[in-house]
Amino acid sequence: MDRAGLVEYVRTQADGVLSTLGPDGSPQAAYLPITATDRGDLVLDVRTTSRKVANLRRDPRVAVVVGGRDGTTLQCEGVADLPDGADRDACARAYLDAFPQFEASLADPGVVLVRVRLTWARLGDYRPGVSSSQDVDLRVGIRRVRADDWRSARALRLDALRDEDAGIAFLETYERAAAEPDVFYQGRTARAADGDDVAQFVAIDGSDWVGSVTVITQRAGSVDYHGRPVERSRAAVVGVFVRGEHRGSGLVDRLLETGAQWAHDLGFDLLTLGVHRDNARAQGAYRRAGFAPSGVTFESTIGPELEMVRHLRPGVQRDTSDISPPVVG
Ligand SMILES: CC(C)(COP(=O)(O)OP(=O)(O)OC[C@H]1O[C@@H](n2cnc3c(N)ncnc32)[C@H](O)[C@@H]1OP(=O)(O)O)[C@@H](O)C(=O)NCCC(=O)NCCS
């Protein structure tokens, strides 16, 4: 089960037991209606005067069990908070979608929403004839774009081009990309969604697009996107971007690994990229993903760049045990 499956499970079950830690560290449990946001945070509402709220303010660690009546159950552990601003709005939306009958309660100043960000979850299925349990994969999901994703692809691209490092990261400018008509993004996303020439892989946190990597195949005898002749067939990584709040999380490694796997499956043994000489952070991420400078340097529209390469045979040689396979289609 992944996060999307967890969200569906929690919304279907709609109740569970929340366990908090009392003042002397002893557990205290309460049975409550529970739902989940699109990104898989649990949401409950509680009275501000309750023991739960005092406990959470002192120690935010919680355990929650969702479901149980039908023989299936989701055991969860996480960290709770009392969200405000846009975070509260997202939780309130999820809560009202699930429990419209509690609208008045949400408007009551004596009631607060609790959000639980999960650190671990396990689904158990103990219905007659079944006995299984599986840990839920709580990581951000990665998949290839679909043609109808073009609006989200456009929005992520424009945000990337407004990044403070965009000037040493992308050949395209924000102004130029923002002026492109919808049909440009429809065509670009459709090409990246299907076929063996180009693939865009995106990381999606709930409904938020938070990262992207595009892989372009370059056949010997063609010219690359810098206008340089391609001597040996290879795949090239472009458009690498991870939103600020997901940087340093290892997400870029998973995106690059997904792209490398795609190129490898097409039979390419060489993955290359160009990176600005001063983009130390990107170079660090690429080195960690198995890329090394080839020794080739060149001047592009953004300034001095160096080429980095990664060899993909035999197999994709890095440890991929913690990488989810790309969901293509
Ligand atoms: C490039 C990018 C995708 C990397 O993802 P990330 O999650 O930020 O990468 P990490 O935090 O894992 O950092 C990569 C490495 O650089 C190091 N690093 C972090 N900040 C750094 C900085 N300011 N200067 C130098 N190195 C830095 C990290 O410690 C890490 O090295 P480590 O593996 O030894 O720990 C992301 O920063 C990004 O989207 N940047 C803007 C767009 C961009 O530059 N794209 C690349 C175009 S070629």
pLDDT in tens, 50-80: 999 999 999 999 999 999 999 999 999 999 9
* Percentage of residues in the chain having pLDDT higher than 70: 95
State residue 225's pLDDT score: 78
| Same domain for 293 and 160 | yes
User: Ligand 1 within 6 A of 172 CB?
Assistant: no
Where in the sequence is the domain holding 25, given as residue range(s)?
Answer: 3-135
Q: Which of 116, 135, 154 is the last residue of a domain?
A: 135
Q: What is the pLDDT of residue 63?
A: 98
Decide if 316 is inside a domain: no
Does the beta carbon of 300 lie inside 6 Å of ligand 1?
A: no
Q: Ligand 1, residue 247: give the atom nearest the CA.
A: 7
Residues 12-41, mean pLDDT to the nearest whole number: 96
Give the number of other CB atoms < 10 A from CB of residue 217. 20
Please give the Cα distance from 241 to 170 (Å, whole number).
Answer: 10
**Could you tell me if the CB of 210 is within 6 A of ligand 1?**
no
Q: Is 11 part of a structural domain of the chain?
A: yes
Do 282 and 149 lie in a common domain?
yes
Q: Chain-wide mean pLDDT for the chain?
A: 93
What is the structure's pLDDT at 321?
43
Of the three residues 135, 168, 191, the one that is the final residue of a domain is 135
Whether 288 and 166 share a structural domain:
yes
Q: Ligand 1: which atom is nearest the Cα of residue 253? A: 12
Find the CATH number of the domain harbouring 272. 3.40.630.30
| Atom 44, ligand 1: residue with shortest CA distance | 169
Instruction: Give pLDDT tens digits for 265-282.
Output: 999 999 999 999 999 999
Write the residue with the smallest CA distance to atom 30 of ligand 1.
284
What strands lie across the sheet with 292-300, from one edge to the other?
A: 141-144, 198-205, 208-218, 234-242, 270-276, 303-311, 292-300
Average pLDDT over residues 174-191: 97
Tokens encoding 41: 């945070």
Does the beta carbon of 178 sit less than 6 angstroms from any atom of ligand 1? no
Q: Please tell me the distance from the alpha carbon of residue 312 to that of residue 237, in angstroms, as a whole number.
A: 13
Q: Is 289 in the pocket of ligand 1 (CB under 6 A)?
A: no
Question: For ligand 1, is residue 169 a contact (CB within 6 Å)?
Answer: yes
Report d(CA 138, CA 300) in Å as an integer: 39
Of the residues 80, 112, 135, which one is the last residue of a structural domain? 135
**113 domain-assigned:** yes
Asked if 64 and 130 sit in the same domain, the reply is yes
- Is 321 within a domain? no
Residue 23 lies in a domain: yes
Probe target for ligand 1 pocket from 156, 281, 302, with the most ligand atoms within 8 Å of CB: 281
Both 224 and 300 in one domain: the answer is yes
Q: Given a cut of 80, is residue 260 above it in pLDDT? A: yes
Q: What is the mean predicted confidence (pLDDT) over 206-226? A: 90
Say what the pLDDT of residue 207 is: 84
Q: Is the pLDDT of residue 226 over 60?
A: yes
Per-residue model confidence (pLDDT) at position 123: 98
Same domain, 148 and 125: no
Regarding whether 74 and 172 lie in a shared domain, the answer is no
Note whether residue 323 is domain-resident. Answer: no
* pLDDT given at position 79: 98
pLDDT band, very low/low/confident/very high, at 329 (cuts 50, 70, 90)? very low
At 21, which CATH number? 2.30.110.10
In a domain, 193, yes or no: yes
- Rounded mean pLDDT of 190-209? 94
CB of 275 shorter than 6 A to ligand 1: yes
Residue recorded with tokens 């419209």? 100
Q: How many domains does the chain have?
A: 2
pLDDT at 264 over 60: yes
Copy the structure tokens of residue 251: 């997400």
Does 163 lie in the same domain as 300?
yes
Q: Are residues 302 and 264 in the same domain?
A: yes
Mention every residue, 6+ apart, whose C-beta is less than 8 A from residue 18: 29, 30, 32, 34, 44, 52, 62, 63, 64, 114, 116
Question: 118 CB under 6 A from ligand 1?
Answer: no
Residue 219's pLDDT band, with cuts at 50, 70 and 90, is: confident
**Owner of token pair 């370059």:** 218
Give me ligand 1 centre to Cα 303, in Å.
19
- Beta pairing class for 15-21 and 42-47: unpaired
Q: Please, what is the end-to-end C-alpha distance for the chain in angstroms?
A: 19
* β-pair partners for 73: 67, 124
Residue 90 forms part of a structural domain:
yes
The minimum-distance atom of ligand 1 relative to the CA of 274 is 48
102 and 13 both lie in a single domain? yes
CB 219 near ligand 1, within 6 Å: no
Which numbered atom of ligand 1 lies nearest the CA of 241? Answer: 39
29 close to ligand 1 (CB < 6 Angstrom): no
Same domain assignment for residues 85 and 193: no
285 alpha carbon – ligand 1 mean position (Å): 5
**Nearest residue (CA) to ligand 1, atom 14:** 285
For residue 288, the model assigns a pLDDT of 97
Query: Are 157 and 111 within one domain?
Result: no
Q: Over the range 93-127, which residues count as b (16 or more CB within 10 Å of their CB) and which as e?
A: ebbeebbeeeeeebeeeebbbbbbbbeebebbeee
Distance of CA 105 to the CA centre of its chain: 33
Taking every pair of C-alpha atoms in the chain, what is the biggest distance, in angstroms? Answer: 72
